[in-house]
Amino acid sequence: MTERPWRAGGRGLLVAVKATPRANRTEATGVELDGHGRAVLRMRIKAPPVDGAANKAILRWFSETLAVSKASVTIASGETARIKQVELAGNAKELAEKLEVVVGETD
């Protein structure tokens, strides 16, 4: 099995995300390794990286896709970077299982 870009931590689950803004739509496109060999969730973001619009789109995608409240999804680090840590508050095991289904569809 491919290494997964999430781990239990913080208030639930931390997900490493590599964001590419200005795409046709917001979606997860799979898992890849970054330049340091760490797994990241590859995402295309429709919004531009201006005034936090891309970050808001990432948070909205996680909230809607995983059916969790908007308040439970935050950017833990990397707000202005291309690779970010998204924190999902809640039961880490349940959140990881939901992500596994989503990533399984994109790998």
The answer to whether 60 touches 69, Cβ cutoff 8 Å, is no
Least confident range from 1-15, 32-46, 90-104: namely: 1-15
Burial class (CB in 10 A: 0-12, 13-18, 19+), 2: exposed
6-106 belongs to CATH 3.30.1200.10 = yes
pTM of the complete model: 0.92
Residue-wise pLDDT for 46-97, tens only, equals 999 999 999 999 999 999 999 999 999 999 999 999 999 999 999 999 999 9
Q: What does the alpha-carbon distance between residue 49 and residue 32 come to, in Å, rounded to a whole number? A: 21
- pLDDT (0 to 100) of residue 68: 96
The ranges assigned to domains in the chain are 6-106
- pLDDT (0 to 100) of residue 2: 67
DSSP 8-state symbol, 72: G
The two structure tokens encoding residue 43: 């995402």
Report phi then psi at 68, rounded to 5.
Answer: -125, 160
